[in-house]
Amino acid sequence: MLARPQRSPHVTAPRCLGCALAACVAAGPLCARAQGRSSVDSAPARDSVTRDSAGRRIVRLQPTRIVGVQPRQGVTRLEGDSAGHVYTGATTTLLHVDVLPANTANSNAREVLGHVPGVNVSETRGGGFPSDGVAFRGLDPRQSIEVNVRQNGTNVAGDLYGYPETYYSPPLEAVDHIEVVRGPSGLEYGPQFGGMVDYVLKDGEPNTAPAVSVDQTGASFGEYDGFASVGGGSGRFTYYAFGHYQGAAGWRQNSNYEEGSGYAALTYRPTRALSNSLQLSIYRSQIHMPGGLDDPEFLADPQLSERKRNWLATPWDILQDVATWHIAPTVTWTTTLSGMLSQRYLVWRNEDGGPQAVDSIDPGTGQYVTPREVEREAFRNGILESRLGVVHRVAGMSATAAAGLRLFDGLMHRQEDGVGTTGTNFTMHLVAPYGTDMHFGTRNVAGYFQEALQVTSRLTVTPGVRGEWLESSIHGFTETDGLVAFDRRSQTFALGGIGTEYTLSPALTLYGNFTQAYRPITYDNLIPFGSATTAIIDPRLHHASGYTSDVGIGGSAGPLTGDIDAFYLWYGDRIGTVAINDSVTETTNVADSRHYGLESYVDLDLLRLFGVSTRRSRRHVSVFDSFAWVDAHYTSGVYRGNEVEYAPPIINRIGPTVGFGAVSTTVTWNYSAKSYGDATNRVVDLEDPGVGVVPSYRVFDWNIRVAIDRERMFVAGIDNFTNSRYFTLRTVEYPGPGIIPANGRTAYAGIRATVP
């Protein structure tokens, strides 16, 4: 169900921003937090009893703080404002993972993020990518390259500005909730037209004994998922840690994999107003990639694999420190310092010749004829993000100011075209050195400011600005180009936006926004793909830019809750590759595109609709519908009039949920209309299966939960229980080339237990 949550408790605002900051000094560090997420005293305080001059007894009650409340709805909206964040007027979704009727054991993005209207999921876990990609509003879903993906507020991609592919996402068993901002996310979170997705992990409860949670799940095709966590608190400390392992033989041939992840967080609260959380995330994977298929092969047998020697491994490490200071009841300051040390290893029989190329064996030696290609990419970056939230008054109006500063310094070392072995197992051993060895550097300084002005008791207006400075550098060599070196290139960006929100009733809100956005040039855009005589870079190449706008209404009316919005997105100077002649291609700003449409999420309580009381029977019957209609077309360039690739015009997910006592079950119907794998809109190309149509598909998922007692729960289900044969991705290179089939019917069952 989708309902607008109540705002934070009312706080009397100082008359001006300066007064608010002055109050910080007077209030000191013992001030309690008044807005944003709840905070908890390091030790419970007792009521004090005194007597006045007349001998009368006076009891001073200590404030009661809410540690947490299990949300009844699985889908809500983000609050209008909190510490350093302003969501007033924005199109937002808050997903409470434990409440959603979904398969969390294998982190099925289709079932969990599918509750966000219009999310397009690139289902490639079985084909070689370690995590499914997502996108919104007709943008590219591959590896979430057009979405700002975060964990606990920190970016998880190798380089948001130069290499935004996402190779890591936390296991959903560890996720407390997921925050999604579409449309106006660019002002607060930086580049990307596609919005922001933040996986917020669970945490330990203060002053509690260690609570251990264990999830054990088995599934079809040899899949096993094991998860264990522990969390609690003592005195001024709280802690939470988990370990996760998943492995499977795979639905397709040659698609076995193993992955493991771990996380540990220790939070120290020296006072009621101060906290510091040190968090470490590690991820390891080794994935056997089955390769791509051409159209006839997919139609004949989507489980077929023509590649037995392709492997991917992704060690990924993120360390972050989050400090929060509730300076005063009206002022909160949060600073996050994070560092990443990660790599991507790839060893494969590459895309030369397409999926039709036979990976032949020499009958005399019994060894493969073609040596594999070896690639290695290493990422090292540091990020500082600091946010300040202040409740104050402006010209007699209540206001919430949010300001932030971001500093980024990142390095990427890419080594490609290494000659590997003719073996079949995963090994990065080189027979001949790398043909490409490049170093990429990015520096970024950004700041933003937003002000939510409560013009009247019903109307709030939120103007905002963001400024960015971006510097890039490249040096190294390639086999085709020899030495490559670009002088440091810098560019500045100024973005503006405004949002507005009008309260129609306590349960219904009208909102709208307009925000500028841009997408940086990535590293791949700056290095020619292929021979230097056939691939060139336009010297006038520049960043893409545009804007997004939304208008919508959200809230509840009787048994119906939901949110409906209309959007318009302008994406100018998109970067792509065009043919100059039969032998030369150029990377340049190829075209503009415009995207508009409707998005809606509604949840209907059927028992309440018909006046059936559910207080004592614990019955629940509801149905949700997550729907989007998108029209995305190129408006200029050689592709003018064509549909934007990976932009299905209709995405719809419908699911009834029936609960009785300890049992709850849901069936979800997923539908995605036809789209295209490239901007030419070719339906099929037998010579190049990396381009062509992505047919429409319908997928049914079923799950059931049975609460055995307060500590144990049985879960089971069948993903794609009609065994639909479909795919969501065509690719001209890794992890293909060709069609990457999605998984067929997969059944699972497991047990969840918590001690104590």
In a domain, 50, yes or no: no
Distance, CA of 659 to CA of 704 (rounded, Å): 10
In a domain, 58, yes or no: no
Res 22: pLDDT: 45
Distance, CA of 406 to CA of 413 (rounded, Å): 23
Res 542: pLDDT: 87
- pLDDT at residue 584 above 80? no
Distance, CA of 383 to CA of 344 (rounded, Å): 20
In a domain, 43, yes or no: no
How confident is the prediction for the chain on average, in pLDDT? Answer: 87
- pLDDT at residue 328 above 80? yes
- pLDDT at residue 39 above 70? no
| Structure tokens belonging to residue 640 | 């003018």
| 102 confidence band (pLDDT: 50, 70, 90) | confident
pLDDT, tens only, 723-744:
999 999 998 888 888 999 999 9
Q: Give me Rg for the CA atoms of the chain.
A: 27
In a domain, 496, yes or no: yes
Res 58: pLDDT: 60
Q: How far is CA 575 from CA 164, 165, 271, 272, 412, in A?
A: 15, 16, 51, 50, 21
CATH number, domain of 400, equals 2.40.170.20
Number of domains in the chain: 1
In a domain, 726, yes or no: yes
Q: Which of 650, 645, 699, 698 is nearest to 673 (CA)?
A: 650
3-state secondary structure labels for all residues of 317-382 = EEEEEEEEEEEECCEEEEEEEEEEEEEEEEEECCCCCCCCCCCCECCCCCCECCCCEEEEEEEEEE
Res 106: pLDDT: 76
Q: If you average pLDDT over residues 121-141, what whole number do you get?
A: 89
Q: If you average pLDDT over residues 706-731, what whole number do you get?
A: 94
Res 312: pLDDT: 95
Q: If you average pLDDT over residues 233-246, what whole number do you get?
A: 97
Q: How far is CA 603 from CA 76, 126, 416, 550, in A?
A: 11, 32, 50, 21
Res 582: pLDDT: 63
CB atoms within 10 A of CB 426: 15
> Which residues in 232-245 are b (16+ Cβ under 10 Å) and which e?
bbeebebbbbbbbb
Q: What percent of the chain has pLDDT over 70?
A: 86
Got the DSSP string for 625-664? Answer: EEEEEEEEEE-SSTTTTSBPTT--SEEEEEEEEEEETTEE
- CA–CA–CA angle 672, 675, 678 (5° rounding): 145
In a domain, 584, yes or no: yes
Return all residues near 119 (Cβ < 8 A) that are at least 6 apart. Answer: 109, 113, 134, 135, 136, 651
Res 60: pLDDT: 58
In a domain, 629, yes or no: yes
In a domain, 718, yes or no: yes
> Considering the entire predicted model, what is its pTM?
0.90
Res 575: pLDDT: 85
Q: If you average pLDDT over residues 347-362, what whole number do you get?
A: 86
- pLDDT at residue 498 above 60? yes
pLDDT, tens only, 390-447:
999 998 899 999 999 999 999 999 999 999 999 999 999 999 999 999 999 999 999 9
The boundaries of the domain holding residue 363 are 75-755
Res 9: pLDDT: 38
pLDDT, tens only, 452-476:
999 999 999 999 999 999 998 888 9
Res 463: pLDDT: 96
- pLDDT at residue 487 above 70? no
Res 537: pLDDT: 79
